[in-house]
């Protein structure tokens, strides 16, 4: 659904955010304490499908005090926020007690005023959630931001649409970076996706850099399922781009001596295709 929404958001004439409306938002945005990470709804589009109509909100994740050349962005509709709210209230009922969520309306859902109010409410909702450490680190909160991108990137990679996949992996990378989860298994999978797509598009220096970053994260781990595939890819790419590969070769040798034959190990691309993302 992520790609369909993206296409819908680009339909001409569908954006409701005039300059005047954006000004209204800025003036009326709540006085939340400044945070390291800000959530800003930058546009809202009415999407009409066969039998339904909904508003699609584009949200930027912005680090305060920094200019992001390539922002981390998501597009979500009311039902996505509602699902997140429901899941978090089930698990964190005490923490969630004081957090407001905009109610569903029976009518006038598509007026500029309703959309502006709801957009502000979503910004404040996400900021409140992010300010609570336990919620901020929960899978429910994190996957709201990047699981859709990972699933879409995986599908695009599997079907050989590497350029489109690369852009989606890159956005998933930026989202995880902003959310401070750059040491998780999902982040390593994202680096694998970036490395594979860069390599398929003959951007070997970039692919090599992704493998380097992954191997730094895996430095302390003796047996991670992606360690062998990343080491093999790194050795191959280092040879291609004329970089030092001795350290990776030594680590590969250690792996060979410690476990099953490396011929049986999947490649990075095979790991990506097989990884269940749900």
Asked if 8 and 47 touch (Cβ cutoff 8 Å), the reply is: yes
Strand order through the sheet with 37-48: 37-48, 53-63, 72-77
Assess whether 121 and 57 both reside in one domain.
Answer: yes
> Is residue 26 domain-resident?
no
> Is residue 246 domain-resident?
yes
CA distance 158 to 250: 31
CATH number, position 199:
1.25.40.10
In the numeric block, which tokens belong to residue 233?
């890819």
Assess whether 151 and 272 both reside in one domain.
Answer: yes
In a structure prediction context, what are the per-residue pLDDT tens digits for the chain, which is 278 residues long?
333 333 333 333 444 454 544 554 454 444 344 448 999 999 999 999 888 899 999 999 998 876 777 889 999 999 999 999 999 999 999 999 999 999 887 677 788 999 999 999 999 999 999 999 999 999 999 999 999 999 999 999 999 999 999 999 999 999 999 999 988 889 999 999 999 999 999 999 999 999 999 999 998 776 789 999 999 999 999 999 999 999 999 998 888 887 766 567 789 999 998 988 88
The number of CA neighbours under 13 Å toward the Cβ of 217 is 22
> What is the structure's pLDDT at 12?
39
Assess whether 190 and 262 both reside in one domain.
Answer: yes
Q: Kindly report the pTM of this predicted structure.
A: 0.83
Which SS3 state, helix, strand or coil, does residue 44 take?
Answer: strand
In the numeric block, which tokens belong to residue 72?
């981390």
> What is the structure's pLDDT at 9?
37
Domain total in the chain: 2
What is the extent of the structural domain holding 114?
Answer: 35-137
CATH number, position 71:
3.30.1520.10
CA distance 69 to 60: 12
Number of H helices, E strands in the chain: 13, 3
Select from 107, 137, 167 the last residue of a domain.
137
In the numeric block, which tokens belong to residue 212?
């380097």
> Is residue 28 domain-resident?
no
Assess whether 77 and 155 both reside in one domain.
Answer: no
> What is the structure's pLDDT at 233?
97
Assess whether 75 and 170 both reside in one domain.
Answer: no
């Amino acid at each position: 659904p992520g790609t369909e929404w993206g296409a819908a958001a680009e339909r001409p004439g569908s954006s409701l955010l005039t300059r005047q409306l954006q000004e209204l938002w800025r003036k009326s945005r709540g006085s939340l304490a400044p945070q390291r990470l800000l959530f800003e709804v930058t546009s809202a589009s009415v999407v009409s499908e066969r039998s339904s109509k909904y508003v699609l909100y584009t949200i930027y994740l912005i680090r305060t005090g920094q200019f992001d050349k390539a922002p981390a962005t998501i597009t979500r509709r009311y039902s996505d926020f509602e699902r997140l709210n429901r899941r978090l209230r089930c698990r964190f009922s005490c923490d969630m007690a004081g957090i407001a969520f905009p109610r569903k309306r029976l009518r006038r859902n598509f007026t500029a005023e309703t959309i502006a109010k709801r957009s502000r409410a979503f910004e404040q909702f996400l900021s409140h959630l992010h300010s609570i450490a336990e919620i901020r680190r929960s899978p429910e909160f994190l996957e709201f931001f990047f699981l859709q991108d990972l699933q879409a990137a995986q599908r695009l990679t599997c079907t050989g649409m590497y350029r489109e996949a690369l852009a989606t992996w890159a956005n998933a990378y930026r989202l995880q970076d902003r959310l401070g989860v750059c040491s998780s298994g999902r982040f390593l999978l994202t680096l694998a996706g970036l490395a594979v797509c860069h390599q398929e598009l003959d951007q070997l220096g970039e692919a090599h850099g992704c493998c380097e970053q992954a191997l730094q994260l895996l430095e302390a781990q003796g047996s991670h399922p992606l360690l062998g595939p990343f080491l093999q890819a790194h050795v191959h790419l280092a040879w291609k781009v004329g970089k030092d590969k001795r350290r990776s070769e030594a680590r590969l040798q250690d792996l060979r001596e410690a476990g099953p034959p490396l011929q049986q190990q999947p490649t990075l691309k095979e790991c990506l295709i097989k990884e269940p993302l749900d």
